[in-house]
Amino acid sequence: MERRLTRKKFNALVAEALDRLPVEFRENMRNVAVVVEDWPPDDLLDELGIPEDDTLFGSYQGTPLGERTHDLVQLPDRIVLYQRALEEECASEAELVREVAITVIHEIGHHFGLTDAEMDLLERQV
């Protein structure tokens, strides 16, 4: 996308995507911080084996709900969306809106421990 959005406008797109999540996800998202950063860190790209000519739109940092073994208070899980990476890959604002929604669903899916097939099904509904 040629024109970059302000962080405020991008955050509004993220909020809209969160508002459009299925109700069962919205009602059960607790202790999850959704944040926006410009770019994924190089060490994360290396850790995930992402080639230099590719990028990452979002990441989930935490323990999926189904894998938790105790009820101790934990730091919030984090879902990070990478604004500049998303903007660079999208040709229009409409494409950006769609890709933000898909990325939000995908990262929320990790939080809830969904399979790739389940996430794909939800993403196709965007």
What pTM was estimated for this model as a whole? 0.89
Residue 121: pLDDT band by 50, 70, 90 thresholds?
confident
Beta strand segments in the chain, E: 32-37, 58-61, 77-82
> What are the strands of the beta sheet with 32-37, ordered from one edge?
32-37, 77-82, 58-61
Judged against a pLDDT cut of 70, whether residue 44 lies above it is answered with yes
In the chain the domains, ranked by start, together with CATH numbers, are: 7-124 (3.30.2010.20)
Six token digits for residue 24: 């069962």
Judged against a pLDDT cut of 90, whether residue 74 lies above it is answered with no
* Distance from C-alpha of 81 to C-alpha of 71, rounded to nearest angstrom: 27
